[in-house]
Amino acid sequence: MLNTDINKPKNWWQRLDGPLKVGLVFAALGIILTIVGIFRDPTTPVTAWSLGVGSLISGVTWGLVSWAIATAAVEVENDVSQAETAASAETDEPQ
């Protein structure tokens, strides 16, 4: 049986790059943890305002910071790969 997934268009998640996926996952995790924290704390009023602002602040913070770290890691890996390729090309040249 042939694999016909090649012609199938990618969904929105498959079109995202790695760092953006990391940022979205950590943003969702931050929002979930904030909502759980609001419901567990008896002194925090459970209102739409507290849920919305808390989710916005934690989601943006966690998402942006994790995206930046993942992007930096990808850039470093690309730089190291390019340096190794250049170094191996120099050693392969005849003297």
Each residue of 55-73: pLDDT tens digit?
Answer: 999 999 999 999 999 999 9
Please tell me which residue, 88 or 53, carries the higher pLDDT value.
53
Count helices and strands (H / E) in the chain.
3, 0
pLDDT at 89: 79
Can you read off the two tokens belonging to residue 87? 């170094």
Domain locations in the chain as residue ranges = 32-77
DSSP letter at 43 equals T
Q: Are 18 and 67 in contact (CB under 8 A)?
A: no
In our burial notation (b when 16+ CB lie closer than 10 A, e otherwise), range 48-59 reads: eeebeebbeebb
pTM for the complete prediction? 0.77
Each residue of 36-54: pLDDT tens digit?
Answer: 999 999 998 999 999 999 9
Confidence of residue 5 (pLDDT cuts 50, 70, 90): low
pLDDT at 3: 59
